[in-house]
Amino acid sequence: MAKSKPRVKVPKTASKDEVITIKTLISHKMESGQRKDKDGNVIPRQIINKFTCDFNGKTVFSCDLEPAISANPYLEFSAKVPESGTFKFTWLDDDGSEYSTESKIAVE
Amino acid sequence: MRNLPGIFVAGAAATAILATSGVLADQSNLPSIDGVELKTRAEAPKDHPLPEIISGFEFRTKETQALELDDFTNPGFLLVESGEETWSTAEGSAGKSCESCHGDAAESMKGVRAAMPKWNEAAGRPFTLENQINECRTEQMGADAWKWESDDMLAMTAYVGLQSRGMPVDVDIEAGDMMSWWEKGKDFYYTRFGQLDLACANCHEANYGNYIRADRLSQGQSNGFPTYRLKWQKMGSLHRRFKGCMDNIRAEAFKRGSDEFVALETYLAWRGEGLSVETPAVRN
């Protein structure tokens, strides 16, 4: 699992001001920095340290992740949807890379 | 009042029966994933070593079960998706992918995992899913064989295995010389190994449902492999699990893909006949 692949689950439609549940999952090894390899050298830390969810450019949810969080972190949260738009999800890696994906939702 | 002792005895007996069958929750509602029911308990045929055949699913917490029952939260699907990509990616000197010969996996691979290991006449031995995939790669595609525990192999066994999810495990131990492998696997199952001097049966036949330190012993069924194990934080093969058990009893483990492990896999598949394939299962 060299490259991290995000998965998100957002309803395609919602009614105005409905509170929806969003599920996200990303493949990532979340190497804690506490482990050692066979030769006793510390395996350098590499985790996803921040997750952000924006709706139409405005942050609706974000969190910092710490080394104790297990591989392939799964996050579930709720958001209120006032209008049609796009959720943008961003995961920030220790090595500076950014994984992101988008998901559209229509308010009926 | 005279009847009271009788009631007590009956009560105690009932409790004892409950205690031996362990954990096991209400089975009137079978667990299901997207409408596919999973048979997590099966009746044992006559002369079977177990009174009832129970999937490892039943021994896990509700939380772990919930992870498996939703394909989105099941982290095993990260690898399943990569297996799906590999399925249609051409590789090797013949310029072929799995898809070139087998077409749509949802049809051609249905039931394959449920019947593994399967006798291979040409090789003169049972083939596990890993053996079969590597033979396809080296003989048909002209590609390099995958390592047993590589992500590529796990992704493919998970993707192929998923096509049989919900189908009952049903291995043909009459084919070819399967019986001698079955016997060898059975010997293995009841042979004590390692410094702790334990056989598979000591834990998984005599003590399933009981705790071993903080972990609840299952029957050691193989119907969910390859499995996403939370302890491993990734998918792992059945042979990795075998090795883990052998390490735990302080024995020198056999190699993945060794004849010993293939024989054990053959015997175990037979012990779990009737349970639904749960690949990719989630375990603790």
What strand order describes the sheet that includes A18-26? A6-9, A18-26, A74-81
Strands (E), B196-284: 211-212, 215-216, 227-229, 234-236, 282-283
Does residue B139 lie in a domain region? yes
Of B131, B162, B193, which one is at a domain's C-terminal end? B162
Nearest CA in chain B to A27: B78
Of B117, B136, B162, which one is at a domain's C-terminal end? B162
What strand order describes the sheet that includes A98-107? A13-14, A98-107, A85-93, A48-55, A58-64
Which token pair is B148?
């047993």
Best residue in A74, A75, A103 for a mutation probing chain B (most B CBs within 10 Å): A74
Give the residue numbers spanning the domain of B49. Answer: 33-73+169-283
Q: What angle do CA A57, A60, A65 make, to 5 degrees?
A: 110
Distance from CA of A88 to the nearest CA of B (A): 19
Query: Do B62 and B102 belong to one domain?
Result: no
Query: Do B104 and B41 belong to one domain?
Result: no
Distance from CA of B41 to the nearest CA of A (A): 30
State the Rg of chain A over Cα: 16
Of B140, B162, B184, which one is at a domain's C-terminal end? B162
The helices-and-strands tally (H runs, E runs) of chain B is 11, 11
Query: Do B187 and B123 belong to one domain?
Result: no
Which token pair is A93?
């890696």
Average pLDDT (B32-47) is 88
Task: Provide the residue type at B63 as one letter.
Answer: E
Does residue B56 lie in a domain region? yes
Q: May I ask the CATH architecture of the domain A6-107?
A: Sandwich (2.60)
Q: How far is CA A87 from CA A5, A63, B75, B114, B116, in A?
A: 17, 16, 22, 41, 43
Q: Give the alpha-carbon dihedral of B222, B224, B230, B232, to 10 degrees.
A: 50
Query: Are residues B234 and A1, on separate chains, in Cβ contact within 8 Å?
Result: yes
Cβ-contact B264, B271 below 8 angstroms: no
Collapsed DSSP state (helix, strand, coil) of residue A39 = coil
Q: Which chain B residues have a beta carbon less than 8 Å from that of A22?
A: none
Specify the number of domains making up chain B: 2
Does residue B16 lie in a domain region? no
Best residue in A7, A21, A34 for a mutation probing chain B (most B CBs within 10 Å): A7
Per-residue pLDDT tens over the stretch B99-136: 999 999 999 999 999 999 999 999 999 999 999 999 99
In the predicted structure, residue B26 carries a pLDDT above the cut 60: no
- The DSSP symbol for B198 reads B
Nearest Cβ partner of A71 from B73, B151, B233? B233
Per-residue pLDDT tens over the stretch A47-94: 999 999 999 999 999 999 999 999 999 999 999 999 999 999 999 999
Picking from A34-38, B11-15, B166-170, B205-209, which range would have the lowest pLDDT averaged per residue?
B11-15
| Residue that is written with structure tokens 């396809």 in the block | B136
State the Rg of chain B over Cα: 20
Q: Are strands B234-236 and B215-216 parallel, antiparallel or unpaired?
A: unpaired
Cβ-contact A4, A28 below 8 angstroms: yes
Query: Do B129 and B228 belong to one domain?
Result: no
Best residue in B68, B72, B74, B80 for a mutation probing chain A (most A CBs within 10 Å): B72
B245 catalytic? Reply is: yes
Does residue B45 lie in a domain region? yes
Query: Do B187 and B268 belong to one domain?
Result: yes
* Residue bearing the bigger pLDDT, A5 or B258: B258
Nearest CA in chain B to A76: B73
Does residue B83 lie in a domain region? yes
Does residue B28 lie in a domain region? no
Query: Do B278 and B204 belong to one domain?
Result: yes
Write down the mean pLDDT value for chain B. 88
Query: Do B147 and B249 belong to one domain?
Result: no
Cβ-contact B137, B145 below 8 angstroms: yes
Rounded CA-CA distance B268/A3 in Å is 35
Query: Do B64 and B173 belong to one domain?
Result: yes
Query: Do B57 and B121 belong to one domain?
Result: no
- The closest alpha carbon to A100, from A57, A91, A59, belongs to A91
- pLDDT for the residue numbered A1: 44
Nearest Cβ partner of B233 from A5, A23, A70? A70
Query: Are residues A25 and B72, on separate chains, in Cβ contact within 8 Å?
Result: yes
The CATH number of the domain holding residue B261 is 1.10.760.10
Rounded CA-CA distance B203/A27 in Å is 34
Does residue B17 lie in a domain region? no
Picking from B7-16, B102-111, B261-270, which range would have the lowest pLDDT averaged per residue?
B7-16
Query: Do B190 and B254 belong to one domain?
Result: yes
- pLDDT for the residue numbered B16: 41
Query: Do B194 and B58 belong to one domain?
Result: yes
What residue ranges do the domains of chain A occupy? Answer: 6-107
Query: Do B224 and B127 belong to one domain?
Result: no
Nearest CA in chain B to A69: B233
In the predicted structure, residue B19 carries a pLDDT above the cut 80: no
- pLDDT for the residue numbered B17: 42
